[in-house]
Each structure stands twice: as C-alpha cells, then as structure tokens.
Chains A and B, each alone.
Chain A
Amino acid sequence: MSESDVKLKRIVIDVLKPREISLVDLSKALCEVSGTNDVAIVVKEVDANTETISITIEGKDIDFDDVIETIEEYSCAIRSIDEIEVYKAKPI
C-alpha cells in the first residue's frame, strides 16, 4: 500500500489572525480547498490587533498544503496543529 492511500479527514489548527480578516471570508476560502467538506472556526482569544482562533477542517481527503497556503495567504500565523485524524483508503 502506497503512502498516498492514507487520507487526511480531520485537522484542528491553532491560528493567530489579524482582526481585519473576517472569519466568514477565511472559513469560506478554507472550504474551497480540495477534499474539504466542513470548516468550523472558534475564537479563543481577542487582542488589540489579533485573534487566536481554532480551525477545524473535515473532509474525505483534505489537501494539507493547500490549507496551510490558504491560511498564510489570509495573513494568518499557524501556531500549532492540535488534532489530526487520518484513515487508510480501502483499495477499490
């Protein structure tokens, strides 16, 4: 079984986001990432210029690199990956 048969189905990322970036825009952009079905964001802390948020992404085969790229494009800093779930796709 090749490595590519292991798919990412859930990931929780702790992110520091500038306050002017809207949660709606960020969550919609993340939902556009290939293999993503659901995106949920929870605000954990609010500062003068930034907000600490927890992003939960669920899908059948989430494109991790694209997720990271999108988060960075939206001027956000990734602080940690808090949870991750993968599964092995059954051969057809």
Chain B
Amino acid sequence: MNDLRRKLLGAAAILLLKPFAALAAAWNKDAFGAKTPQDALTGIGVGSPAPSKDLVIEAPQIAENGAVVPIEISSAIAGTTAIAVIIEKNPFPLAARFDFQNGALPYVKLNVKMNETCDVRAVAIAGARHYTATKEIKVTIGGCGG
C-alpha cells in the first residue's frame, strides 16, 4: 500500500516538474556564463576535442568591424549532430550551439561579435566523439563595448 502511494507521489512529482525541466534545459546557462574557453567546453560536455581537418571554418582573416564578423562552419565528419562556436577572447567565449536532426546538414552561417583579435574555435559533436578546428580572425575595432 505504502509502496503504491510512493509510486503515485513520484509520478505526480515528475508530471509537475517536467515542464520546468524542459524550460531549464533549453538554454545552457553554465556553459554560456563560462568566462574561459575551457570552462565553456566543459559546460557543453566536451573534454578534450581532437583537431580535425573535416571541420571547416570560413571567415575573413581581418574583420574591420568586430560587431559583425561573418563565420561559416561546416562539418564533413560523419554523424555530426551538433556544432558549437567559441570565441576565445570574448568576455563570455561560448557564442552559440546548434543541434542538427531530421536531415539538417551540419552547416551554419552566422554573424558574431568579437571583442579583439583571437582564435575562433568550432567544436563538432559526433556521438561520443568531439572534434575541433580554429581560425584566427584579426579585429580592427572591437564589437562588445562602445
């Protein structure tokens, strides 16, 4: 009897908590709040990613305006399900994380802000494996303060 009651209570608790859990999982506060690239990596569950030539970052070598730096990332690594963008010297390095499913190709193009000249790091997640590539972008005018 007691056991049944406990199960019912447990089920009720799960039903109550689920909507909140779904909301909380939607934005990775810890990873986006990280102040170092390493903490940002840890925040998205990536330990030490292996460098890969199949992960390509297309971006200008020199960005005159740090407020709008176009970056294009594509992965030729089989089974890539997510791509993250880390701007190493930004106050909060993690810029974005994209999860691909149902036929979306591991490709994204976006504009980011860069505080100063630094490496832009792409991370590809393919199952339990993690890959990375970097590209240095020189910034003439920073795009964070102003």
Say if A and B assemble together.
no
Chain B: residues with CB nearer than 8 A to chain A? none
